[in-house]
Amino acid sequence: MSRRLLLAGGGHSHIEVLRRWALAPEPGIELVLLSPDRHAAYSGMLPGHIAGHYSHTDCHIDLDALCDAAGATRIATTVAGLDPLARRVIAGDGSTQDYDWLAINVGSTPATAGIAGSDRHGIAVKPVARFLAHWEELRAAALSAPRALELVVVGNGAAGVEVVLAMQRRIAGEGGRAHFTLVGDSPELLPAHPAAVRRRFAQKLKDRGIRLRMGLPVIRASAGLLKFADDSSLTFDEVLWITGAGAPAWPRTSGLECDERGFIRIDATLRSLSHPEVFASGDVAGMVDAPRPKSGVYAVRQGPPLHDNLRCALRGEPLREYRPQRRALALISSSDGSAVASYGPLSWQGEWVWRWKERIDRGFMARYRGNSDKN
């Protein structure tokens, strides 16, 4: 009888599992992907897509094509819960899916739990498909609005900075009318990056007319109004949530061991600390021995060891330990034909950095289109 390996979520690690599975399928294993969307977004190219530099196809991976190649089935649903004792996933539509082995790579969503009303007002950058549909409406509204729209991006990390620059470039380039404000709760932009990177982006935002409002957390969102911790406020026509990563609630409520923020605790083999038949990777997981920031780089790098360890687990062989790299290179685009590279205390800027980023990103996508090296 065949055994069932469920992949929950078409994240950056699971696309690599599928790609490698296609090269050598495992006999006697039914491989199933649970993903509500046919297309998985590659977030490294998302700001470029918002800016109009990349098409939707350029920055999305066709999960059905990957599943076809791997002999896997995609079931179009979300994971809403888990019964780990019964080895059963509860899907968003109430149906259930049994598994022998489960791997979870569902990413994160912006952490806005502490902001009252954020679930009813504004739009979060993830899920990406919903965000992009909303972005199209926003662009159209900026073109036809009788006055400039007030657009607020909450989140002063790299993603928030890239997205606000991309939106400004696109709307201004199309003749739309909008004012932008970037809001962050730390005193400085890009707190995880060196001072030179922060200075460069502060200047770019200023040059592009994007206002900054730093140093105070937003505590409440209501129709057209953000309230800050000091009781000051900011009006908006639309607010976009691009705050740091937050975990889905269901891993914790299902009984998987999670850290204090709700991310699944995994060991060096990428296996759940509490449930050895469950693996997790990417943003939704936290490696207890080697904690790292939530970043696509780590989700991508976990793909090959996750694939190898799933095979080992299925074959009853010992798992191998994986040690993530200590730090990741961030290539942050400014949607003006240039980008900034940030690596530990070092940074570089220029058109060549953008070309470098573009080469890396397009190379990454080519791996999942079957038109590049097979290894």
Ligand X SMILES: Cc1cc2nc3c(=O)[nH]c(=O)nc-3n(C[C@H](O)[C@H](O)[C@H](O)COP(=O)(O)OP(=O)(O)OC[C@H]3O[C@@H](n4cnc5c(N)ncnc54)[C@H](O)[C@@H]3O)c2cc1C
Q: Binding of ligand X at residue 37 (CB under 6 A)? A: yes
**Near ligand X by CB under 6 A, which window of 172-180, 191-199, 290-298, 348-356?**
290-298
Cβ-based nearer residue to ligand X, 160 or 176: 160
DSSP secondary structure string for all residues of 187-211: SSSSTTS-HHHHHHHHHHHHHTT-E
Query: What are the C-alpha distances in Å from 21 to residues 14, 159, 175, 375?
Result: 10, 31, 47, 12
Cβ-based nearer residue to ligand X, 318 or 363: 363
Interaction mask 6-25, ligand X, x per CB under 6 A:
--xxxxxx------------
| Helix, coil or strand: residue 305 | helix
Q: Are 172 and 179 in contact (CB under 8 A)?
A: no
Q: Which of 138, 161, 163, 205 binds ligand X (CB under 6 A)?
A: 163
60 pairs with which residues across the strands? 41
Return the residues of window 308-347 that contact ligand X according to CB under 6 A. none
Q: Binding of ligand X at residue 243 (CB under 6 A)? A: no
Q: Binding of ligand X at residue 200 (CB under 6 A)? A: no
Q: Which of 22, 35, 84, 201 binds ligand X (CB under 6 A)?
A: 35
CB of 250 to ligand X, least distance (A): 7
Q: Binding of ligand X at residue 254 (CB under 6 A)? A: no
- Nearest residue to 14 via CA among 83, 56, 74, 95: 74
Cβ-based nearer residue to ligand X, 238 or 283: 283
φ/ψ of residue 240, rounded to 5: -115, 125
E strand spans, 218-266? 218-222, 225-228, 233-235, 238-241, 245-246, 264-266
DSSP secondary structure string for all residues of 36-103: S-SEEE-GGGHHHHHTTSS-TGGGEEEHHHHHHHHT-EEE---EEEEETTTTEEEETTS-EEE-SEEE
**Which pairs from 359-363 meet CB under 8 Å and 24+ separation?**
360/44, 360/331, 361/42, 361/44, 361/45, 361/48, 362/58
**Near ligand X by CB under 6 A, which window of 138-146, 167-175, 295-303, 348-356?**
295-303
Cβ-based nearer residue to ligand X, 37 or 100: 37
Q: Which of 47, 84, 244, 246 binds ligand X (CB under 6 A)?
A: 47
> Distance (Å, rounded) from C-alpha 108 to C-alpha 206?
30
Q: Is 124 exposed, middle or buried (0-12, 13-18, 19+ CB in 10 A)?
A: buried
Q: Which of 17, 72, 79, 197 binds ligand X (CB under 6 A)?
A: 79
Interaction mask 81-120, ligand X, x per CB under 6 A:
------------------------xxx-------------
Residue-level length of the chain: 375
Cβ-based nearer residue to ligand X, 134 or 177: 134
List the structure tokens of 107.
Answer: 């990413």
Cβ-based nearer residue to ligand X, 164 or 178: 164
CB of 106 to ligand X, least distance (A): 4
Q: Which of 25, 52, 81, 127 binds ligand X (CB under 6 A)?
A: 127
Number of residues counted as binding ligand X (CB under 6 A):
34
Cβ-based nearer residue to ligand X, 82 or 212: 82
CB of 120 to ligand X, least distance (A): 20
φ/ψ of residue 278, rounded to 5: -115, 130
Q: Are 41 and 326 in contact (CB under 8 A)?
A: no
Which residues bind to ligand X, rule: CB under 6 A? 8-13, 34-37, 40, 43-44, 46-47, 78-79, 105-107, 125, 127, 159, 162-163, 242, 282-284, 294-297, 299
